[in-house]
Amino acid sequence: MTAIAESPAPRVRAARRPSLVWLGVVPFLAFAFLFLLWPTLYIVVAAFRTPQGDWTLANVLGLFQKSILDAYWISIRISLASAALGCLIGLLVAWAVVLGGLPAWLRGPVMTFSGVASNFAGVPLAFAFLATLGRVGLVTILLRDWFGINIYAMGFNILSFWGLTLVYLFFQIPLMILIITPALDGLKREWREAAAILGASGAQYWRLVALPILFPSLLGCFALLFANSFGAVATAFALTGSSLSIVPILLFAQIRGDVLNDPHLGYALAFGMIVVTALANGLYVWLRLRAERWLK
């Protein structure tokens, strides 16, 4: 190998190698850019443009009218409520199955069912709730005939804030169960026993040890559930058509050209949705960093 000293070839190859390695992820990055990042960025940029291509704040300022702000507000409220209740109830059920001393064989079916129910969102879910809690739904009729309770006379409406939250919980709770179970499995038995032997009650163990340890996971679940319900279109649309004023429905109608006449307001609506979910996730990342000082 006397050629080593005089031949520049190995150096050239060594210098080119990093770019060759990069080639391996180019298809993925190209796909992600073309069909995920670019469309999103396009919307963001378009939200600040006039139809003629000039920069403007008018579109975004156009969001600040009562009907649109109300739509954001009810969307945020439904998402917060269904995420919070989903987290809470999902945590309770997951706790019951993982740590609460229920028979071990129950766990498999619960997990499978959660997988099904968390994906049973959208149009069929709306049908299911209409068939159950609609005006002639099974539960509505049973409550009326057996207990004399007419929920519609009491002001219940499946198209209301609580009605929609109730429907959304059908996919939020199982999603929570699916993603929080590994975290619950991560709680070591020794921690509970160490706390008990040091004199802590069950409540003290949860307040001082288990919940702080779970906190980052809970935050992540909450952020995910929030985004999950904030972007949901199909369920609400199948329940109501475009009559319900939540942001995704408004945007859906706008894209279809049903309602608003200003296309660039549509960009602003979508931009607003991105901002809300980005804020939720930014908050999550920030809280998580604070909560995880004790992690490596």
Partner 1 sequence: MTRAFAWIAFALGAIYFFLPLIGTVEFSLRMLRGQYSFEAYRRVLADPRFLDTLGYSVAMAVATIVFGVLLVVPTAFWVRLKMPRIRPLIEFITLLPLVIPAIVIVFGYIRLFNTSSILPLTGSAMGTNVLLMFGYATLALPYMYRAVDTGLRAIDVRTLTEAAQSLGAGWVTILARLILPNVLVAVLSGAFLTFAIVIGEFTMAALLNRPAFGPYMQLLGANRAYEPAALAVIAFAITWACMGLMQLVTRFQKHTRAQR
Partner 2 sequence: MPFLEIARLEKSFGALRVVRDFNLAIEKGEFVSLLGPSGCGKTTVLRMVAGFEAPDSGTIRIDGQDVLGLRPNQRSIGMVFQAYALFPNLTVAQNVGFGLKVKGTGRAEMDARVDEMLRLIGLPDLGQRYPFQLSGGQQQRVALARALAPKPQVLLLDEPLSALDAKVRVSLRNEIRAIQRDLGITTLFVTHDQEEALSMSDRVVVMNGGLAEQVGDPHEIYNRPATRFVAQFVGTLNVLEAEVTDPAAGRVRLAGQEIALGRPLPPGRASLALRPEVVSLGPAPGRDLRLAGRIAEVHFLGSVIRMRVAVGSDHVSLDAFNRPDAPPPAVGEAVELSVSPRDLLVLEG
Q: Which of 59, 86, 95 is nearest to 265 (CA)?
A: 59
* Residue nearer to partner 1 on the CB measure, 274 or 291: 274
For the CB of residue 221, give the shortest distance to partner 1 in the complex, in Å: 12
Report the SS3 class of residue 47: coil
Taking CB under 8 A as the binding criterion, the range among 52-60, 131-139, 144-152, 208-216 that sits at the site for partner 1 is 131-139
60 binds, among partner 2, partner 1, none (CB under 5 to 8 A by kind): none
Query: What x/- string results for residues 31 through 60 when contact with partner 2 is judged by CB under 8 A?
Result: ------------------------------
For the CB of residue 166, give the shortest distance to partner 1 in the complex, in Å: 9
Report the SS3 class of residue 55: strand
The site that binds partner 1 (CB under 8 A) totals a number of residues, namely: 82
Residues between 207 and 226 that touch partner 2 (CB under 8 A): 208-209, 212-213
Structure tokens at 223: 């952020």
Backbone angles phi, psi at 147, to 5 degrees: -115, -5
Amino acid letter, residue 112: T
Percent of the chain that is helix, strand, coil (3-state, to 5): 75, 0, 25
Spatial separation of the C-alpha atoms in residues 152 and 157, rounded to whole Å? 6
Candidate list 7, 10, 16, 39; residue touching partner 1; CB under 8 A: 39
96 binds, among partner 1, partner 2, none (CB under 5 to 8 A by kind): partner 1
Query: What x/- string results for residues 54 through 83 when contact with partner 1 is judged by CB under 8 A?
Result: ------------------------------
* Residue nearer to partner 1 on the CB measure, 129 or 213: 129
* Residue nearer to partner 1 on the CB measure, 10 or 100: 100
Q: How many CA atoms lie within 13 A of 260 on its CB side?
A: 23
Q: Is 112 in the site for partner 1 (CB under 8 A)?
A: yes
Exposure string over 231-264, b if 16+ CB within 10 A, otherwise e: bbeebbbbbbeeebbbbbbbbbbbeeeeebeeeb
* Residue nearer to partner 1 on the CB measure, 171 or 213: 171
Question: How many CB atoms are located within 10 Å of the residue 167 CB?
Answer: 27
Q: How far apart are the first and last CA of the chain?
A: 48
Amino acid letter, residue 224: L
* Residue nearer to partner 2 on the CB measure, 141 or 196: 196
The number of angstroms, rounded, from the C-alpha of 159 to the middle of its chain's C-alpha atoms is 20
What crossing angle do the helices spanning 211-230 and 66-98 adopt, rounded to 10°? Answer: 140
Candidate list 27, 105, 199, 261; residue touching partner 2; CB under 8 A: 199
188 binds, among partner 2, partner 1, none (CB under 5 to 8 A by kind): partner 2
* Residue nearer to partner 1 on the CB measure, 7 or 243: 243
For the CB of residue 6, give the shortest distance to partner 1 in the complex, in Å: 30
Q: Is 183 in the site for partner 2 (CB under 8 A)?
A: no
Asked whether the beta carbons of 122 and 248 are under 8 A apart, the reply is: no
Q: Is 116 in the site for partner 1 (CB under 8 A)?
A: yes
Q: Which of 242, 236, 241 is nearest to 167 (CA)?
A: 236
Residues in contact with partner 2 by the rule CB under 8 A: 188, 190-191, 193-201, 204, 208-209, 212-213, 293-296
